[in-house]
Structure 1
Amino acid sequence: MMRFDLVDLALFRHVVEAGSITHGAARANLALAAASTRIRAMETSLGAALLTRTRLGITPTPAGRALLAHARGLIAGIERMQGELSGFSDGTVGQIRVIANTNALTEFLPDALAAYLARNSGVSVAIDEHTSDEIVGLVAEGAADLGILSGTVDTGDLQTFPFRNDRFVLVAARGHPLAEREAVTFTEVLAHDLVGLDRTSALTRFLADKAVRVGRPMRLRVQLRGFDAVCRLVEARVGLGIVPEGMAHRVARGLDIRVVPLDEPWAARDLTLCLRDLGALPVFARDFVMHLRGGSSSEGR
């Protein structure tokens, strides 16, 4: 008879979402040896492999995908229960799982998140970064309670609400050939060296895909962890950068750089909140969505 406890199910979800047992164990706060033992015991109890193991990581087998769907449903149900019952205790209310693209994560979420958490001491928020295309599938699968992505992406049957508006722009050092242009295309930018975020960031992967589509390589000379550092190296003439417009204008006040509009339809970033069912979220998670929406009471589509 199969005997999986909640620790098993949570661990399995973390392992699949992280793509490795090592990283999944860390997310579940378990030692690697203990996590590996639990996964093997689950497979033995089921009588079938749950994971396919390769040098590049793990992927779920058909049995693993079925288990993952059930695990996500059960864990979500428990989190909803905790949220509904939170008013009867002084303990931790629960956790909200958010997946966001680079622009939302760096430019808009920090302030909104700080304001919400200041008023909700029992709530924690786990945030992962993905491209907008990836976010739709992950939210639909139940990997997150809420996604924040580009409004240009087809969200299918997910509920959506408007969030913020911004756009990506080019930043260039004073005197660079593109610095005084009224606007530039991405193809023109690709003729020069670039400074950007590391290759695992959603923005870098998004731009790399756009570069492939126009048939030009993206020459990243330096990869960094934040947009402020990108702009400082742009000022030092290491290369050009592509960053959110709001952040670019704030940083430009203290640096000798120029902000140039990108003449590309994808540069506009109308950000959207997406989720499976607002009414099915725990109370604290619904409150978080309403907080991000600015208290609007309009219905999502």
Structure 2
Amino acid sequence: MRFDLADLQLFLCVVDAGSITQGAARANLALASASERLRNIETDAGVALLTRHSRGVLTTEAGEALAHHARLILRQQDLLKVELKDFSTGARGTLHLYANTAALTEFLPQRLAPWLASRPQLYLDLKERTSTEIVKTITAGLAQAGIVSDAVDANGLELQPVAKDHLVLIVPAGHRFEQHRTLRLTDLLGESFVGLAYGNALQDHINEQANAVGGTLTLRIRMKTFEGLCEMVAHGIGVGIVPQGIAHRYQRKLGYHTLALAEDWARRQLCLCFREWKTLTPPMQSLLTHLGGRHQT
């Protein structure tokens, strides 16, 4: 049997109407065309499906079986359409988004929560990378989009600022630097630092900046969390560099001092990064729009 969905839809229209004429009208077919298709359906089935009489048609036992299964098949088609629409609009499936450390810890959590909550069938795979690595990944076509610092060389990609992300120095109370307003990284190369764990994208970025000015950071200890880093600084273990929002969050509790860093790389903005808006999938466009992105024509 080679029934297509249009055949099944026509058969149900006729069955529900009890008339080939009315069924053809419901299916938007001419009567002659509908009658021919019904004959072909019965030929393919190898059994009579309808009993024709002066007042219309009735289903045979075989016709009842076909009608039952036709309704199941068409219902499944409707469910499939809804599911595919969910994928196309970003309500279902898996999105992959790359982000630097500051975006993962400060920017994304409160902004992603309501968007994901309204899409229970959607999964989001967040990957932490340095801004430089994210740009390289998008340039190579291995990712659609990411969130990076505007201090990075975007290599021709689109950058759309969505939040401030200044980095600041924190020092323990009584430290010789606490009376300064601003400092440069070169002023700090002789200091002991409290850093973040190996592989942390932000710590890698800070280390790169130290290398760029001809030095290295002396990391006395590495911590897995910003809170742990701030605790260590407050107890005089060393100084640290963290996002401004993190510094403010724990400053009152721990009593360390916060100082500005004078370099441009520390006065950052978080930016959405992608190649071209039109090349993004609809789900990714929906996510970036929610995060503050915009389609520029």
Aligned to 2:236: 237
Say if 2:138 and 2:144, in contact at 8 Å, map to a contact too. Answer: yes
Say if 2:91 and 2:122, in contact at 8 Å, map to a contact too. Answer: yes
Aligned to 2:296: 299
For 1:290 and 1:207, the matched residues in 2 are separated by 30
The one-character-per-residue Cα deviations of 1:63-84 (angstroms, maximum 9, x if unpaired) are xxxxxxxxxxxxxxxxxxx999
Aligned to 2:122: 123
For 1:273 and 1:137, the matched residues in 2 are separated by 14
- The share of aligned pairs that are identical, in percent, is 36
The one-letter amino acid paired with 2:149 is: S
Using the TM superposition, give the Cα deviation of residue 280 of structure 1 relative to its aligned residue in structure 2, in angstroms: 3.3
Say if 2:91 and 2:119, in contact at 8 Å, map to a contact too. Answer: no
Aligned to 2:135: 136
Aligned to 1:28: none
For 2:200 and 2:82, the matched residues in 1 are separated by 32
The one-character-per-residue Cα deviations of 1:15-65 (angstroms, maximum 9, x if unpaired) are xxxxxxxxxxxxxxxxxxxxxxxxxxxxxxxxxxxxxxxxxxxxxxxxxxx
The one-character-per-residue Cα deviations of 1:185-230 (angstroms, maximum 9, x if unpaired) are 1112221100011121111111112222222221111111111111
For 1:180 and 1:135, the matched residues in 2 are separated by 37
For 1:207 and 1:87, the matched residues in 2 are separated by 41
| SS of structure 1 residue aligned to 2:112 | helix
For 1:84 and 1:172, the matched residues in 2 are separated by 53
Aligned to 1:277: 276
Q: 1:136 to 1:93 in 2, by over 3 A?
A: same
Using the TM superposition, give the Cα deviation of residue 284 of structure 1 relative to its aligned residue in structure 2, in angstroms: 2.2
1:219 aligns with 2:218: yes
Say if 1:135 and 1:147, in contact at 8 Å, map to a contact too. Answer: yes
Using the TM superposition, give the Cα deviation of residue 108 of structure 1 relative to its aligned residue in structure 2, in angstroms: 0.6
Q: 1:277 to 1:84 in 2, by over 3 A?
A: farther
Moved over 6 A (4+): none
For 2:203 and 2:143, the matched residues in 1 are separated by 22
The one-letter amino acid paired with 2:296 is: E
The one-letter amino acid paired with 1:219 is: T
The one-character-per-residue Cα deviations of 1:237-295 (angstroms, maximum 9, x if unpaired) are 111010001121121021111111111111111111111333333322211110001xx
Say if 2:149 and 2:269, in contact at 8 Å, map to a contact too. Answer: yes
TM-score using structure 1 length: 0.66
RMSD: 2.5
| SS of structure 2 residue aligned to 1:153 | coil
The one-letter amino acid paired with 1:273 is: L
The one-letter amino acid paired with 1:96 is: L
The one-letter amino acid paired with 1:255 is: L
For 1:228 and 1:137, the matched residues in 2 are separated by 30
For 1:105 and 1:261, the matched residues in 2 are separated by 22
Say if 1:180 and 1:258, in contact at 8 Å, map to a contact too. Answer: no
Say if 1:160 and 1:272, in contact at 8 Å, map to a contact too. Answer: yes
Q: 1:198 to 1:175 in 2, by over 3 A?
A: same
Say if 2:181 and 2:260, in contact at 8 Å, map to a contact too. Answer: yes
Which one has a bigger Cα radius of gyration?
2
The one-letter amino acid paired with 1:122 is: Q
Q: 1:201 to 1:297 in 2, by over 3 A?
A: closer
| SS of structure 2 residue aligned to 1:217 | coil
Q: 1:195 to 1:83 in 2, by over 3 A?
A: farther
Q: 1:228 to 1:88 in 2, by over 3 A?
A: closer
The one-character-per-residue Cα deviations of 1:115-144 (angstroms, maximum 9, x if unpaired) are 211111111111112211111110122322
| SS of structure 2 residue aligned to 1:200 | coil
Q: Show the 5 A alignment for 1:225-264.
A: 225-264=224-263
Using the TM superposition, give the Cα deviation of residue 159 of structure 1 relative to its aligned residue in structure 2, in angstroms: 2.9
For structure 1, the 5+ residue unaligned runs are 1-81
Q: 1:186 to 1:96 in 2, by over 3 A?
A: same
Q: 1:188 to 1:292 in 2, by over 3 A?
A: same
